């Protein structure tokens, strides 16, 4: 199952990772890849969590929360929307579709059960155009948190 999920993520991020203008940004032990021109802006309103905004020209595309109390999920499908979920040990992905097009996606990664931070929660922000949602989704699915995951058997982490 783990190999299947890794394959899905590699497929989803292949376009962004192979782009010649891709830039890797470090967030602690994690990394996120964006097209050139994007910045990672940190804001920590209180000491027990961190929030990052992935933005271009001041316009946010993706938000990232790192801490112990994520508000997941941020949005639930309503009306004519379809909600799909991917669950695995330590990973949840929720996607919301309208008329066959992705309109929201968010993910929750369990980083630790014993120490801070426990979770990484990332989501596509509201009010993006369909083209911006495609870019935001590529950014969202490029998150590499392998360096931050602890409390697991090291033989099983690859």
pLDDT in tens, 8-20: 444 444 444 445 6
Q: Tell the CATH topology of 2-148.
A: Protein Transport Mog1p; Chain A (3.40.1000)
Using only C-alpha atoms, the chain has a radius of gyration, in whole angstroms, of 15
Domain boundaries, the chain: 2-148
* Vertex 81: Cα angle to 76 and 87 (nearest 5): 55
The model's pTM: 0.80
The reported pLDDT for the residue numbered 150 is: 67
For residue 32, what pLDDT is reported?
94
CB distance 28 to 148 below 8 Å: yes
| Average pLDDT over all residues of the chain | 83
Question: In the structure, what pLDDT confidence band is assigned to residue 127 with cuts at 50, 70 and 90?
Answer: very high
Mean pLDDT of 75-95: 94
């Amino acid at each position: 199952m783990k190999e299947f999920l890794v394959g899905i993520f590699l497929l989803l991020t292949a376009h962004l990772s192979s782009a010649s203008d891709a830039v890797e940004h470090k967030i602690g032990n994690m990394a996120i890849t964006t097209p050139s021109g994007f910045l990672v802006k940190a804001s920590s309103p209180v000491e027990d969590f961190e929030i990052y905004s992935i933005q271009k020209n001041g316009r946010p595309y993706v938000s990232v929360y790192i801490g112990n109390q994520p508000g997941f999920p941020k949005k639930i499908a309503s009306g004519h929307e379809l909600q799909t979920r991917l669950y695995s040990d330590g990973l949840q992905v929720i996607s919301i579709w309208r008329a066959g097009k992705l309109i929201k996606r968010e993910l929750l990664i369990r980083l630790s059960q014993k120490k801070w931070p426990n979770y990484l929660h990332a989501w596509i922000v509201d009010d993006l155009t369909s083209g911006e949602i495609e870019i935001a989704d590529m950014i969202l699915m490029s998150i590499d948190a392998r360096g931050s995951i602890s409390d697991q058997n090291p033989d099983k982490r690859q």
